[in-house]
């Protein structure tokens, strides 16, 4: 048995695009952003039933999803041993017998995401691979530490070996409509990141409206974000299809006007393989195949990989296995 796909996993190296340099804050463009909530909800409601894939095609899409996972551990009881085990899973995300049955090899996840203190063990465990280490920063998850400390946290994470930095914005700038302050904050974060790619967490569940999500997405891209990300995973409402659609369309508008591609990362609450397929189909329909590569699309997830592996085993054997057989470490 072998699987085929139009956009096979890991066919492109990470970060091959010219980075989004940002632009001057265009308040006319920001104010023009609106969101028709009922239309957005109708659009995403149609996806799960209309865009279902089966058999070999489903297996191919699930392999694609794996290549786009930021395999994440952000717990207070993280240890170097836990991170090392997670990195081993990142290097070999699916059991060898299943990969052989599927006729596929060389698959890895998109990145490993950890707190600053766990960067060193993650870098050591991933040595010899092209899997980047991402670190959450800027007072994650609330983003309410002193500004200079947030900047220093970024610099120290980059110095420790993180090649991607997941920052959180100050939600109050969005809620009060202080777009200049949000822009200036993001520019400072981008400068502190240097060559490391910056993934901007909007914490969409705390922004109040879909219009705010769209405007915040645009301002952060104007300030030089390489990715815009839905959530920290710590809010009461995390990634949803409506907010993802708003962010994706902001990315499309930004690309059409500037020529620079910005990535998208839904995160928090995406734990089932069927949900991953819906997000992938949304990306394909709205932005096209280029945005199905891990340099432009990621899932922020900790348990999603286990369910995908379970579905792949069902595809190969015809039987569902217990969830505990697909541990992350």
Catalytic residue list: 166, 229, 265
CA distance 184 to 190: 10
Angle, vertex CA 64, rays to CA 61 and CA 69, nearest 5: 125
Q: What's the token pair of residue 239?
A: 């990634």
CA distance 58 to 129: 27
Tabulate helix, strand, coil % of the chain (nearest 5): 50, 10, 40
CA distance 302 to 37: 30
CA distance 28 to 218: 12
Alpha helix segments (H runs only) across the chain: 27-32, 37-45, 47-50, 55-67, 80-91, 96-102, 119-125, 147-160, 171-175, 179-193, 210-222, 241-258, 273-287, 304-317
CA distance 275 to 273: 5
Q: What's the token pair of residue 154?
A: 């970024």
CA distance 58 to 3: 9
Instruction: Give residue 322's Cα distance to chain centre.
Output: 27
């Amino acid at each position: 048995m072998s699987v085929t796909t139009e956009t096979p996993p890991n066919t492109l190296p990470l970060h091959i695009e010219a980075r989004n340099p940002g632009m001057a804050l265009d308040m006319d463009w920001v104010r023009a952003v609106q969101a028709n909530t009922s239309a957005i909800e109708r659009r995403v409601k149609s996806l799960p039933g209309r865009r279902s894939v089966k058999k070999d095609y489903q297996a191919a899409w699930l392999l694609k999803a794996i290549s786009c996972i930021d395999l994440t551990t952000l717990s207070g009881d993280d240890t170097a041993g836990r991170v090392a085990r997670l990195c081993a899973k990142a290097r070999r995300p699916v059991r060898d017998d299943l990969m052989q049955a599927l006729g596929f090899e060389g698959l890895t996840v998109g990145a490993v995401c950890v707190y600053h203190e766990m960067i060193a063990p993650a870098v050591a465990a991933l040595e010899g691979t092209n899997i980047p280490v991402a670190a959450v920063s800027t007072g994650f998850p609330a983003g309410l530490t002193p500004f200079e400390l947030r900047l220093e946290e970024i610099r120290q994470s980059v110095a420790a070996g993180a090649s991607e930095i997941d920052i959180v914005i100050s939600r109050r700038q969005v809620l009060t409509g202080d777009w200049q302050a949000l822009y200036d904050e993001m520019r400072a974060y981008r400068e502190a990141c240097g060559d490391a790619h910056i993934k901007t967490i909007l914490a969409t569940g705390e922004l109040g409206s879909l219009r705010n999500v769209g405007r915040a997405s645009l301002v952060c891209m104007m300030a030089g974000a390489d990715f815009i990300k839905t959530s920290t995973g710590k809010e009461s409402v995390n990634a949803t299809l409506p907010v993802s659609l708003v962010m994706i369309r902001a990315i499309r508008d930004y690309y059409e006007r500037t020529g620079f591609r910005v990535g998208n990362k839904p995160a928090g609450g995406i734990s089932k393989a069927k949900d991953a397929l819906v997000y992938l189909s949304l990306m394909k329909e709205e932005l096209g195949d280029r945005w199905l590569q891990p340099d432009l699309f990621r899932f922020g997830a900790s348990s999603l990989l286990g369910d995908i592996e379970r579905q792949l085993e069902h595809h190969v054997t015809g039987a569902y296995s217990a969830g505990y057989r697909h541990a992350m470490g």
